[in-house]
Amino acid sequence: MKTIWLVLPCYNEEQVLPETARQLKEIMTDLMQRGKITRESKIAMVNDGSRDRTWEIIRQLHAEDRIYTGINLSRNRGHQNALLAGLMTAKQYADAAISLDADLQDDVGVIEKFIDEFEAGKDIVYGVRSSRKTDTLFKRFTAEGFYHVMQWLGVDLVFNHADYRLMSKRAMDGLEEFEEVNLFLRGIVPQIGYPTAVVEYERHERFAGESKYPLKKMLAFAFDGISSFSVKPMRMIIHAGALMFLISIAMLIYSVVRKIMGATIVGWTSLMVSIWMVGGIQLLCLGIIGEYIGKIYSETKKRPRYIIESVLNGEDSG
């Protein structure tokens, strides 16, 4: 038998947390009774600086049953950092940890399949959506487009995998070796190596509350992933510069010819279009370069990715 921790990043999840805790406890208790996992296994909820009663609920759950563990961050650090904090805590006690969202969209019914793959010798087990039938057309198009773009840019990603995965203790030790501040775990985890497996599941509708990833955050998260794992956007700037140089040569020849023909006024439209186009491309290129420079700036400071204020585990009161 192995000790398994479930790690759930939580941000303002007071509406869904009691039901999530109940369902996960049923699953973990059943696995314990059947000898699939040890009774030291835990459900670890990471409070990512919530502004509602999330931490209060976690404390209450821990007081009622020590199967629940709470990890309270000093302030909001974002989903990826909260997840990392939970995994780094879990690896001190568990043989493996399964990360999942607290909103019950991830199918908790396949947790046993993750454990079976782990028992079969897999260090990393990816939860992969079997379909996107529950998504809107726009969400399906943008999500799948993101994975295709990332793969085109040379980023090693598991298609249709988010952060529902099992990681063994040695895989989490490997994850700890990656010290970057700008976290994109979907791109980092495949770089760890070790034997892997895939478990397919159907993603459900959110049980309650609102999504923590509106379109603006999704776009920012996608660009973080691209700029953290690929330099192709920088190379594209070089190609764009070469193309604009060729276009400028063509425009020069065109302007000289029009001058000789005595019809210089005709070129006003093309001149205005060229100025706006070149100006827009320059600003876009500066923005891309600035994003990379900003990431370098963040990395060189070596600031902590998260600070844990308190932990509820065992007999600790937190």
Q: CB of 185 within 8 A of CB of 150?
A: no
Q: Is the pLDDT of residue 235 over 70?
A: no
Helices (H), the chain: 17-33, 54-64, 79-90, 111-119, 137-152, 169-176, 185-192, 215-229, 232-260, 268-301
> In angstroms, how far apart are the furthest CA atoms of the chain?
92
Q: Is the pLDDT of residue 138 over 80?
A: no
Q: What percent of the chain has pLDDT over 70?
A: 70
- The mean per-residue pLDDT over the stretch 156-183 comes to 85
- CA-CA distance, 33 to 245, in Å (whole number)? 71
Q: What DSSP letter does each residue of 143-159 carry, written as one string?
A: HHHHHHHHHHTT----T
CA 25 to chain centre: 26
Residue 318's pLDDT band (cuts 50, 70, 90): very low
Each residue of 201-220: pLDDT tens digit? 887 665 555 555 555 666 66
For 170, counting Cβ atoms within 10 Å of its Cβ (0-12 exposed, 13-18 middle, 19+ buried), the class is middle
Each residue of 44-67: pLDDT tens digit? 999 998 999 999 999 999 999 999
For 2, counting Cβ atoms within 10 Å of its Cβ (0-12 exposed, 13-18 middle, 19+ buried), the class is middle
Each residue of 116-127: pLDDT tens digit? 999 999 999 999
- CA-CA distance, 248 to 252, in Å (whole number)? 6
Q: Is the pLDDT of residue 233 over 80?
A: no
Each residue of 97-113: pLDDT tens digit? 999 998 888 888 899 99
| Bridge partners for 200 per DSSP | 128
pLDDT for residue 71: 93
Q: Is the pLDDT of residue 8 over 80?
A: yes
Which range is most confident: 10-24, 141-155, 252-266? 10-24
Neighbours of 174 (CB within 10 A): 19
Q: Which CATH superfamily is domain 4-210+303-312 in?
A: Spore Coat Polysaccharide Biosynthesis Protein SpsA; Chain A (3.90.550.10)
pLDDT for residue 230: 62
Domain residue ranges of the chain, discontinuous segments joined by +: 4-210+303-312, 232-301
Residue 270's pLDDT band (cuts 50, 70, 90): low
Q: CB of 73 within 8 A of CB of 36?
A: no
Q: Is the pLDDT of residue 295 over 90?
A: no
Q: Is the pLDDT of residue 28 over 90?
A: yes
pLDDT for residue 317: 45
| Bridge partners for 10 per DSSP | 47
